[in-house]
Amino acid sequence: MNHLAIVDDDIVLLHILQDIFEVRGLQVSAFNDPVAALKAIKELKPDAVLSDVLMPNLTGFELCRELRSDKSFAKTPIFLMSAKHSIGELSKSMMSGADEYIIKPFQIDEIYEQLKQFYKKKNNPIIIRPLDS
Amino acid sequence: MIFRQNRSWLAWCELAILLAVLFIIHMVYNMDWLNWSPNPFIFVVLYFSLRYGTRIGAASAVGASLLHILTYLQINGDLYGLFDQWVQAKWFVCYWGIALFVGHVSSDLRFRYAILADEFEDNKQQLAKMDTSYHDLLFVKKALETKVVGAQESMYTLYKIAKALDSEDSEIIFTDAVRLCKDLIQAGSIVIYRMSPGGDVLRLKVYYGAEAHYPSTVFLDQPSLYALVCKEKTVQIRQEGESAAIPMLAGPLLDENKQIIGIIGLNGLDFVALNKHTMDLFRLILTWMGESCVKAFQKEQKLNEQRYFPNTRVMKPDYFYAKLNEETIRATDFAQKFLLLQIPIEFSEMEETDALIEINGLTQQMLRDEDAIAYDSFRGELLFLLPATSPELASRIEDRIRDRFNRGALE
């Protein structure tokens, strides 16, 4: 996993996350406008996406659903992050196609490890073959 | 309160002493009382008449008269001039007049006062009785209020139970049953087991509280409180010497044929608050929940065609997410852990329907009755939901599942 896209309307947090992940050797594309981010991410095709949930014009759930609808993002880990910790958010994020719903504040190293694990897992699917084959 | 001297001998002694003192003074100092103005005997008579009434007043008038005569006799040598002159005779009129008039007024007042005092005593006793009656009434009022409030609470409790357990989703019923036991019976720890289809094993469904050591599977062929509940089909209490992981109180959930569909166990009970009412409440929850579960299972049975992909136990995503939501609520409210696994899957040269049947065949032996598996084509993943399972086991369980699929594909 080399390329990470981060989407967050909070510019300060966005740049902090960008710097931290760049220090860990990742190429980071940072976006503070989710609508512009959707278009750019589809073109850039990063290895993983980390997006905030509550953003103007396009929520993290909508962004995730749009990306997951694109077959080329089937194996891309998409993590949603939010400070909102309410019942129903997990299943809502699952329904939007997200792989993980992270509650802020979080440990960057843990997220980085999880992103790597999900990237590995996503690219190592179970393959079902006919029993007689 | 007016002073009342009821000991009459004291009055007589007082009068005798005073007259004796006057007599001694007269004898020792040869005092001429008769030239004093006003005459000191007047005050003696006035004092005793006022203080003790007519009788002692008359006695003091007799004493004053005698002292007056004695004094006159000593000064004048004879008594001849005593009643001839009005100057001397007026004093006797005064003594007796004061004694009779003032004594009568005093006696009359004392008599009236005695009547009023008696009335006062009567009123005091009546007041004391009224006070006792008032306190009795207050006690009765409080008891009645408690009864009324208790009845209202009972109605509200019944309403809460009815509302909570009136659901067509068994998952919601189980969650609400835990909440009811927690709120109404105030159990510190609650566990609900479901009976396996074979009827020989109990599977952990929901738990809440500090006792996190409830076994995920209970084998009923071994003697335990659970086995006793299954045998007797009534509420049972933990026997002395049994493990702390066994609930103090356990009761059966019965279906319409009196067959056990589950067991609710309670621990961390407050034995001060535990009474017959609490036990009745627990039995009510068990009965009500049993009936609700039967209805919910029947409803779910009918919905199974919609819930699962054809000929499989693989859930459709919407139903899976509803179940996930319920587990999230339990995790938030009761700190019950659950494990969610997402495993990407690809159907190589297979139709979705056939692939899902094969997945069903491979996974059914691995999963418990309470576990759920779903396929979400949008995500391209198999989803596994394992209630009451620690997330720390994720990688081990995923490896086992992958291994099972790899072996299955090779076989």
Closest Cα in chain A to B329: A87
Which pLDDT score is estimated for A78?
94
Any idea where the domains of chain A sit in the sequence?
3-114
B40 in helix, strand or coil? helix
Task: Answer yes or no: do A69 and B378 touch at CB < 8 A.
Answer: yes
Structure tokens at B364: 């059914």
Residue B399 burial class via C-beta count within 10 angstroms: exposed 0-12, middle 13-18, buried 19 and up: exposed
Which pLDDT score is estimated for A132?
60
Other CB atoms closer than 10 Å to residue B95's CB: what's the count?
26
Give A87's contacts in chain B (Cβ within 8 Å): 325, 328-329, 332
Say whether residue B400 is in contact with chain A using an 8 A CB cutoff: no
The model's pTM is 0.63
Tens digit of each residue's pLDDT (9 = 90 or more) over A37-94: 999 999 999 999 999 999 999 999 999 999 999 989 988 999 999 887 666 788 889 8
C-alpha distances (whole Å) from A54 to each of A24, B15, B265, B325, B364 are 26, 108, 42, 20, 39
Task: Answer yes or no: do A129 and B383 touch at CB < 8 A.
Answer: no
Whether residue B85 contacts residue B40, with contact meaning beta carbons closer than 8 Å, is answered with no
Give me the interface pTM, i.e. the ipTM. Answer: 0.87
Which pLDDT score is estimated for B328?
86
Q: Report the range of poorest mean pLDDT among B153-162, B306-315, B328-337, B367-376.
A: B153-162
Sequence-distant (≥ 6) Cβ neighbours of residue B373 within 8 angstroms? B313, B314, B315, B359, B360, B363, B367, B382, B383, B384, B385
Q: What is the mean pLDDT of residues B301-310?
A: 84
Which pLDDT score is estimated for B410?
47
Q: Which CATH architecture has domain A3-114?
A: 3-Layer(aba) Sandwich (3.40)
- Enter the DSSP assignment of B339: E
- pLDDT of B241 above 80: no
Task: Answer yes or no: do A128 and B329 touch at CB < 8 A.
Answer: no
Closest Cα in chain A to B406: A126
Say whether residue B314 is in contact with chain A using an 8 A CB cutoff: no
Task: Answer yes or no: do A128 and B328 touch at CB < 8 A.
Answer: no
